[in-house]
Structure 1
Amino acid sequence: MELQNLKDASDTVNFAQAVKKGLGKHQGLYFPTDIQPMRNIDELLKMPLVERSQHIIRHLVGDEMAPDLLDLMISTAFNFEAPLVSVSDNIYSLELFHGPTLAFKDFGGRFMAQCLAKISEGKPVTILTATSGDTGAAVAHAFHGIDNINVVILFPKGKISPLQEKLFTTLGGNIHTVAINSDFDACQQLVKSAFDDPDVRDGLHLNSANSINISRLLAQVCYYFEAVSQLPDDKRAQSVFAVPSGNFGNLTAGIIAKTLGLPIKRFIAATNSNDTVPRYLSSGEWNPKATIPTISNAMDVSQPNNWPRIEALVEKGYFEKSLLKGEAVDEESTQVAMKQLQSLGYISEPHAAIAYRALTRQLEDSEIGIFLGTAHPAKFRETVENVLGQPIHLPQPLVDVAGKASLASEIGDDYQSLKEYLFATLT
């Protein structure tokens, strides 16, 4: 598998190098130079999740890794289900929160941990990543206890739900967590600055576990196939995916799935009030504004890192831009959507509710809508209970951490403070 830096065409790497480096020169994203469609899609859709995912990732990675090893990594990572649940006659929820940290990030985080553990061959690695919520828990649990790998997770102080935060700030050991006195975009910028600093990048053997890492992206492709496989044959070609979008890795993976030949009709990029992409798709002008805090905090991103990959898919002719529409959903409409789902007998948290709301606004009568359920409602217990007026049962992973004390450190949003923290903690 050959990948090219989208900011520097001379910077090309293979899959293992892209996994280890995370980001390329000039903070550029690595992206495949070629994506070939898969054959026998109908046969693939008859397979169970793990077997199908093994075919998909082997196809993408090529002969760079031994098939038996890759298959074992995938079966180890994907040891939970992703059911498609009917919400109404023509709308389904793809529930991606049945993994150990109750969020869709478990797919990418667990597969990346398997990849990096094998590729690094016991050499020291520092994972530095920013989270707006679910990435932190998925990455922390995926790497917790792995020898020679330290994980540093930056998160915006006070802008993540308490139970979300507890899932990754209570582990300790090789998991180091840092509350930044700013927003998620500032956390992302700190990560980028560290990768641009040779002292830190080379001295601490930096890697990033954000959705910018190609291994996470490939893992996410697989659950789009899982969703379509659960639809009746005659409905598949009319499927429309509404993707709750923050950093846009999830949507990128869906477009790659379509590029591989999965019969998806079109996509809706559903955002909260941080609507950079919907405005861009409508006006053609890229004009990020200051990030606005919302109840769908994992999507409080005004400068999504993965958007250049979607632009690359369009520019390379893999995807027709007209098949992507944007939809911004404000706070009031988010709560209305949560209540609408409740009336249908389905309890949802704000992020999935935004995607549902986008579907109800745009779905045509002949189409089948699928919105991504990216996190268990209990991870946003306070918000869900306040909006819906009913108690939410806590699943066991949240019960286990609810009473634990946070081990997070706290620093400002300046890079020098982060650099000092990294060397003091890791050396």
Structure 2
Amino acid sequence: MELVNLKDASDVVSFSQAVKRGLGKHQGLYFPTAIPKLANIDTLLEKPFVERSIEVLHALIGDELGDGVLNEIVEQAFDFPAPVEKVTDKVYSLELFHGPTLAFKDFGGRFMAQCLSRISQGKPVTILTATSGDTGAAVAHAFHGIDNINVVILFPKGKISPLQEKLFSTLGDNIHTVAIESDFDACQSMVKQAFDDPEVREGLHLNSANSINISRLMAQVCYYFEAVSQIPEEDRDELVFSVPSGNFGNLTAGMIAKAMGLPIKRFIAATNLNDTVPRYLKTGEWAPKATVATISNAMDVSQPNNWPRIEALIERGYLDKACLRGESVDEQYTQMAMRQLAQSGYTSEPHAAIAYRAVSHDLQEQEKGVFLGTAHPAKFRETVENVLGQPISLPKALADVAGEDSLAVDVAADYEALKAHMFSLLKDK
């Protein structure tokens, strides 16, 4: 697999190099120089999830990882299901929260960890990542206990749910968590500064596990194929995927799947009040506003990192811009959607509810919709219980950490303070 830096066309790398580097020169994102078109999609959709995923990823990555290695990686990473549930006559939910940290990011986090542990060949690596909620837990659990890899996770203090925080801030060992006294965009900006700082980048052998890392994105492509495989054949002709969108990695993966030939008619980028992309799609003006805190906190992102990849898919002719529209859902309609889903017998959290609201509001008569359930409702227990007025039980993964103390360290939203903290943690590791 060959990838090019979207900010520097001279920076062309292999899959392994892109996984190790995370970001390219000038903070550029890596993007495939060519996206393969798969033949015989119907036959592919009949295969089991893991077997099909190996074929999809082999088409993207090629033989670079060596005989049998990709098979091993996928088998170890994707060892939990991604079921599709019918919610109404016209709308399905793709449930991506059946992994160890109850969120869709388990797919990308575990795939990246398996790739990097082999690619690094025992050499020291520091994973630096920012999280608006679910990335932290997925990355922490995926890399926990891998000898040569240390993980530093930045998150906005007080702006993610307590149970989300407990899932990644209680592990210890090679997992280091930092509560930044600001918002997610500030955390993300500090990650970028670190990658631009040679002293940190080289001295700590820096890598990122955000959705900017191409390995996470490749993994996410696979569950779009899994979703379509579970939809009745008579409903596949007019499929609309509604994707709850914050940093836009999930939507990018879906659009890559469509570019590969997966029969998806179109996409809805469903956001909360942080509506940079829906406004841009309507007006053509990229005008981020200050990030607004919402009950769908994992989507509280006003400058999504993955958007340049979506632009590249369109500009390079893989997809028509008409296959994407944006929909912003406010707090009132988010809660209304949660209640509507509950009345249909389906319990959901705010992020999925936004995607449900967007797709049910937008579907044409002949279309069927799929919204992505990106996290287990119990990860947002307080919000879900307040909105629905009824208690929900905690799954074991959350019950086990609910009473544990957070090991996170508070750091000001100051890059030099973060740099000093990281060197104090990791200089001898």
Would the TM-score normalized by the shorter structure come out above 0.5? yes
Give yes or no for contact 1:125–1:148 (8 Å, CA) kept in 2.
Answer: yes
Q: Residue 94 of structure 2 aligns to a residue in which SS?
A: strand
Q: Equivalents in 2 of 1:392, 1:364: separation in Å?
A: 34
**Residue matched to 1:307:** 307
**Residue matched to 1:405:** 405
How many residue pairs were aligned?
427
**Residue matched to 2:40:** 40
**Cα distance, 1:361 vs. partner?**
1.2
**Residue matched to 1:217:** 217
**Cα distance, 1:401 vs. partner?**
0.2
Moved more, 114-123 or 62-71: 62-71
> What does the per-residue CA deviation read over 1:69-115, in whole Å, with 9 as the maximum and x for residues that have no partner?
10010010000000000000010000000000000000000000000
Q: Residue 264 of structure 2 aligns to a residue in which SS?
A: coil
Q: Equivalents in 2 of 1:347, 1:181: separation in Å?
A: 32
Give yes or no for contact 1:58–1:67 (8 Å, CA) kept in 2.
Answer: no
**Residue matched to 1:29:** 29
**Cα distance, 1:302 vs. partner?**
0.1
> What does the per-residue CA deviation read over 1:346-385, in whole Å, with 9 as the maximum and x for residues that have no partner?
0000000000000111011100100000000000000000
**Residue matched to 2:328:** 328
Q: Residue 278 of structure 2 aligns to a residue in which SS?
A: helix
Q: Equivalents in 2 of 1:102, 1:46: separation in Å?
A: 26
Q: Residue 236 of structure 2 aligns to a residue in which SS?
A: helix
**Cα distance, 1:39 vs. partner?**
1.1
**Residue matched to 2:259:** 259
Q: Equivalents in 2 of 1:304, 1:144: separation in Å?
A: 27
Q: Equivalents in 1 of 2:334, 2:235: separation in Å?
A: 28
Give runs of aligned pairs for residues 9-408 of structure 1, distance below 5 A.
9-408=9-408
Q: Equivalents in 1 of 2:151, 2:39: separation in Å?
A: 38
Give yes or no for contact 1:242–1:356 (8 Å, CA) kept in 2.
Answer: yes
Q: Residue 401 of structure 1 aligns to a residue in which SS?
A: coil
Q: Residue 39 of structure 2 aligns to a residue in which SS?
A: coil
Look up the equivalent residue of 1:417 and give its one-letter code: A
Q: Equivalents in 1 of 2:237, 2:204: separation in Å?
A: 47
Q: Equivalents in 2 of 1:110, 1:164: separation in Å?
A: 18
**Cα distance, 1:66 vs. partner?**
1.6
**TM-score calculated relative to the size of structure 2:** 0.99
Give yes or no for contact 1:126–1:151 (8 Å, CA) kept in 2.
Answer: yes
Q: Equivalents in 2 of 1:400, 1:40: separation in Å?
A: 45
Q: Equivalents in 1 of 2:116, 2:330: separation in Å?
A: 39
Q: Equivalents in 2 of 1:398, 1:112: separation in Å?
A: 23
Q: Equivalents in 2 of 1:81, 1:239: separation in Å?
A: 21
> What does the per-residue CA deviation read over 1:39-76, in whole Å, with 9 as the maximum and x for residues that have no partner?
11111100010000000001100121224110010010
Q: Equivalents in 1 of 2:353, 2:155: separation in Å?
A: 23
Runs of 4+ with deviation above 3 angstroms:
none
**Residue matched to 2:8:** 8
Look up the equivalent residue of 1:292 and give its one-letter code: V
**Cα distance, 1:237 vs. partner?**
2.0
Look up the equivalent residue of 1:276 and give its one-letter code: T
Unmatched 5+ stretches in structure 1: none
**Cα distance, 1:201 vs. partner?**
0.2
> What does the per-residue CA deviation read over 1:206-249, in whole Å, with 9 as the maximum and x for residues that have no partner?
00000000000000000000000001112112110000000000
Look up the equivalent residue of 2:258 and give its one-letter code: K
Q: Residue 19 of structure 2 aligns to a residue in which SS?
A: helix
Q: Residue 138 of structure 2 aligns to a residue in which SS?
A: helix
**TM-score calculated relative to the size of structure 1:** 1.00
Look up the equivalent residue of 2:157 and give its one-letter code: K
Q: Equivalents in 2 of 1:272, 1:339: separation in Å?
A: 17
Q: Equivalents in 2 of 1:236, 1:205: separation in Å?
A: 45
Look up the equivalent residue of 1:308 and give its one-letter code: P
Q: Residue 136 of structure 1 aligns to a residue in which SS?
A: helix
Give yes or no for contact 1:239–1:367 (8 Å, CA) kept in 2.
Answer: yes
Unmatched 5+ stretches in structure 2: none
> What does the per-residue CA deviation read over 1:285-312, in whole Å, with 9 as the maximum and x for residues that have no partner?
0000000000000000000000000000
Look up the equivalent residue of 1:171 and give its one-letter code: L
Q: Equivalents in 2 of 1:331, 1:26: separation in Å?
A: 36
Q: Residue 421 of structure 1 aligns to a residue in which SS?
A: helix
Look up the equivalent residue of 2:95 and give its one-letter code: E
